Amino acid sequence: MGSFKRSASNNSLSASARDDIKYEVSDNLAFTVVVLGASGDLAKKKTFPALFTLFDKGFLPKDLAIIGYARSALDINDLRKKIKGFLKSKDEAKKDEFVQHITYVQGAYDKSEAFENLQHTLEEREQKSQGGPAGRLYYLALPPSVYPQVCKGLKEGASQLPDIEGSWLRIIIEKPFGMDLESSEDLAEDLNKLFPEEQLYRIDHYLGKELMQNMLVMRFANRFISPCWNNQHIANVQIVFKEPFGTEGRGGYFDEFGIIRDVMQNHLLQVLALVAMEKPVSLGADDIRDEKVKVLRCISPVKGEDSILGQYVSNGKDPGYLDDETTPKGSKTPTFAAVKLHIRNDRWEGVPFILKAGKALNERKVEIRLQMRPTVANLWHEEDPNALRNELVMRIQPDEAIYYKLAIKKPGLEYNPVMSELDLSYKSRFKETYIPDAYERLILDAIRGDQEHFVRRDELRAAWAIFTPLLHAIDDGKLEPVEYKHGSRGPPEADELIRDAGFVRNESYVWGDSPRRSAL
């Protein structure tokens, strides 16, 4: 699994081989990041900026080299200048220092001699490390279709490490991990023939977001939350992803996947797993991922009657999905989906989990909303008990926040209950705190050899099993999207699905100072 040390508190091993593992980076590590696809947008906009922030804040080993690898004939000075333009810092000297660590190797993705040349470059670089261990992090900023051939090239041509204790090799791969259960398993099988699971880091950047990192602490370090986190108190759960813009020239790419493959099967299902999982044995990566797999396996595959699909059309001002010239004519690909999931276990039986995601909607936000059951024997008979429903809301983006809606007496001489909130808004509470970008956090985890926030193969299999029947029905034309206007809340049918799941929308409540209503 790479370089780790065990606690020296006692001489005997504990019952689990996973216990007491500490992820550490050797002080004399010759660390090399190889960014494959270095000329692409992902590398320029996410990978290199994340590496720069880690470099700027002192998290990268001192013996650092970054090698860009791509098919294009690039001048190294032009590449450095282009990358520098994406680095967010006013410290020009620091940016200049960082880009000097970047070199470039041109090579094809299907030629063995190209990877042998990369291996030669790495060996030359590592021989200068004065006998220390070598760490190689391959970041595949590439289309998933080339993963098998690239990994084969790396295995055969660029995976030979120095014979020094503590040396390691890890590979970060981006989603999508297949198109359905079968293709995902085929891809996983191809990759596992080349590299063991402990060397593969399937990145889902939502697992690196601050509120997701906070989930385990909030759930399992607060005594008052645990007794309420079940079907006796929670009526329904919603996990919502909303974007106010459409495909905007990327219709060809998006049309290949659709909103379920692009957002729901991966990002939102990972959020659900952290919300619904049981308490792990430890904070070890596999103990946490074991619990995520267990809860995903308890979810029945989505049925057509438990889903609403939509596709946005023009509102007279903004274009519709089919108006995008890059979108295939007559496409039936959903740009919106709302699905109702059922978790068949003791904790969650009877609690609907609604996943909702869409493009070209009325606002930008990603949040989790747990609505509690109404108060028993309500003392305020004239009030609708549903008007005083408690809700716990975790806003992942923008403006990270956790707030709890609760009933209080309205100040004044009257004795009337109103809804207010206990509010933890990160911008107010942590004014001077830097909140890392998800890629920064996850790349650092990969350097340390911590796979907690990366997707394991069996976890991926369980996630695809939930959505594959629905995806096949869509691909076969058995389910078609309904229209909704660009800039709306989505199809009205989705609101009906959510109401049928028991969600009660509070029309009068406004969260904080926001002019927008917080109700979904």
3-state secondary structure of 186: helix
- Cα 365 from Cα 386, distance rounded (Å): 25
3-state secondary structure of 404: strand
Q: What is the pLDDT along the chain (520 residues), one digit of tens a residue?
A: 333 333 333 333 444 555 555 567 777 899 999 999 999 999 999 999 999 999 999 999 999 999 999 998 999 999 999 999 999 889 999 999 999 999 999 999 999 999 999 999 999 999 887 778 999 999 999 988 899 999 999 999 999 999 999 999 999 999 889 999 999 999 999 999 999 999 999 999 999 999 999 999 999 999 999 999 999 999 999 999 999 999 988 888 899 999 999 999 999 999 999 999 999 999 999 999 999 999 999 999 999 999 999 999 999 999 999 999 999 999 999 999 999 999 999 999 999 999 999 999 999 999 999 999 988 877 776 667 677 889 999 999 998 999 999 988 889 888 888 888 999 999 889 988 888 899 999 999 999 999 999 999 999 999 999 999 999 999 999 999 999 999 999 999 999 999 999 998 876 677 665 544 444 4
Nearest to 337, CA basis, from 364, 316, 357? 357
Give the strand pairing for 134-140 and 168-174.
parallel
Which strand (E) or helix (H) includes residue 460?
Answer: helix 457-475
Sign of CA dihedral 274, 465, 456, 14: positive
- What would you measure as the largest C-alpha separation in the chain, in angstroms? 83
The type of residue at 178 is: G
pTM of the model: 0.90
The CA-CA-CA angle for residues 100, 102, 107, to 5°, reads 150
Distances (CA, A) of 411 to 36, 415, 417: 61, 8, 9
The CA-CA-CA angle for residues 348, 349, 355, to 5°, reads 65
Give me the pLDDT at residue 21, please: 54
Q: Confirm whether 120 is a catalytic residue.
A: no
Kindly report the number of other CB atoms within 10 A of residue 72's CB atom: 11
The type of residue at 221 is: A
Burial (CB < 10 A; 0-12, 13-18, 19+), residue 41, is exposed
Nearest to 34, CA basis, from 1, 70, 61? 70
Tokens of residue 359, six digits: 């493009």
Tokens of residue 188, six digits: 């996983």
Contacts of 376 (CB under 8 A, 6+ apart): none
- Cα 469 from Cα 459, distance rounded (Å): 17
Q: Which fold has domain 4-174?
A: Rossmann fold (3.40.50)
Q: Where are the alpha helices (DSSP H) in 158-298?
A: 181-194, 210-220, 251-259, 269-276, 285-297
* Domain edges within the chain: 4-174, 208-500
- Cα 446 from Cα 200, distance rounded (Å): 10
3-state secondary structure of 232: coil
- Cα 494 from Cα 26, distance rounded (Å): 52
Which strand (E) or helix (H) includes residue 105?
Answer: strand 102-106
Identified catalytic residue from 267, 381, 453, 486: 267
Burial (CB < 10 A; 0-12, 13-18, 19+), residue 382, is exposed
Kindly report the number of other CB atoms within 10 A of residue 513's CB atom: 6
Tell how many helices (H) and how many strands (E) occur in the chain.
15, 18
Q: Where are the alpha helices (DSSP H) in 63-109?
A: 76-84, 92-99
Distances (CA, A) of 394 to 68, 243, 264: 38, 17, 18
> What is 208-500's CATH superfamily?
Dihydrodipicolinate Reductase; domain 2 (3.30.360.10)
The type of residue at 339 is: V
Burial (CB < 10 A; 0-12, 13-18, 19+), residue 103, is middle
Give me the pLDDT at residue 387, please: 76
Sign of CA dihedral 39, 44, 46, 51: positive
- Cα 93 from Cα 258, distance rounded (Å): 43
Question: How would DSSP label each residue in 109-171?
Answer: SS-HHHHHHHHHHHHHHHGGGTT--EEEEEEE-S-GGGHHHHHHHHHHHS----S-TT-EEEE
Q: What is the distance in angstroms between the CA of the first residue and the CA of the last residue of the chain?
A: 43
